[in-house]
Amino acid sequence: MECHETESLLGAYLDGELEPAVSSSVRAHAETCVTCRRKLAEMQSISRMVRQAPYYQASDRLRARVAQAHAQSTRTSHLRAWAAAAVVVASVSGSILFVRSSTRAALMGEPADAVAQEVVSGHVRALMGEHLFDVRSTDQHTVKPWFLGKLDFSPPVTDLAQAGFPLTGGRLDYVAGHPVAALVYTRGQHTINVFVWPEGSNAVSSLEARAIRGFHVRHWTRGGMAYWAVSDVNDADLDQFVRALQQ
């Protein structure tokens, strides 16, 4: 486990919210990493201080004043909500277009090496956090509609079971801070994550191959979409998977 992955899990580790396997990985890393062990100790110290802080009961007079202020705030909020609704309705179409263009531009503007690191981190995070699926199904007609309303594009979803790479589900993921579709396939005991988002051009790019932190990565664009496939399967199997997906 890398330091940046451990740091993002320290809070959940202290609160006992991680799966046993992930918790063990965080603990093992902290035992061998001075930086993460120090951060964990600092968080534990703060937690103890918060628990030991004295608790003061609010007086009846203060409770009454807070309740009155809340009631007044609620009435004001309702009036503001009606006014804001008109503005939202008028601007929502433009906002959607802005989000779509800004998300696409941000992802296209990221260096390829940085994006490759992001998708590998997403792959590892999904496997270790046991949040591999938001929708678990081998039916492409179940997985594809699940993304409706969650993304501003419709990711292509293909079942490759006949090629030896069955579809097993999908989820909403994030690359460079922006939402993307993640499609999950398997090859034996190996998981293949395919991250998909609009590329902004209908040009078809040649296949790019990388190896990052022990994972094989493939990147290409096709039909206006950018594809990043990540897995620990061997190079030959991953190339076969990509060829099947491109057909």
CB atoms near residue 243 (< 10 Å) = 11
The number of beta carbons lying within 10 Å of the beta carbon of residue 183 is 26
- Cα dihedral across residues 231, 237, 242, 246: positive or negative: negative
Evaluate whether 37 touches 156 at the Cβ level (below 8 Å): no
pLDDT of residue 81: 58
Mean pLDDT within 41-58: 68
Tens digits of per-residue pLDDT, 106-132?
A: 455 567 889 999 999 999 989 887 689
* Residue 78 binned pLDDT confidence (cut-offs 50, 70, 90): low
Residue 213 clears pLDDT 80, i.e. is over it: yes
Cα–Cα separations (whole angstroms), residue 119 to 53, 90, 196: 42, 36, 10
Q: Going by C-beta distance under 8 Å and a sequence separation of 6 or more, which residues neighbour residue 33? A: 3, 6
Q: What is the DSSP letter of 205?
A: P
- In our burial notation (b when 16+ CB lie closer than 10 A, e otherwise), range 94-133 reads eeeeeeeeebbeebeebeeeebbbbbbbbbbbbebbeebe
Region for 130 from its dihedrals, namely left if φ exceeds 0, alpha if ψ lies in -120 to 50, beta otherwise: left
Q: What is the DSSP string of 159-173?
A: -BGGGTB-EEEEEEE
Number of residues assigned to the chain: 247
Q: Which domains does the chain have, with CATH numbers?
A: 3-52 (no CATH), 110-246 (3.30.200.100)
61 C-beta neighbours (distance < 10 Å), count: 8
pLDDT-derived band at 66 (thresholds 50, 70, 90) equals: confident
Cα gap 133→117, rounded to integer Å: 21
| Predicted confidence (pLDDT) per residue in 222-245, tens digit | 989 999 999 999 999 999 999 999
* pLDDT given at position 130: 66
Tokens standing for residue 69: 């202020």
User: Quick check: 190 pLDDT over 90?
Assistant: yes
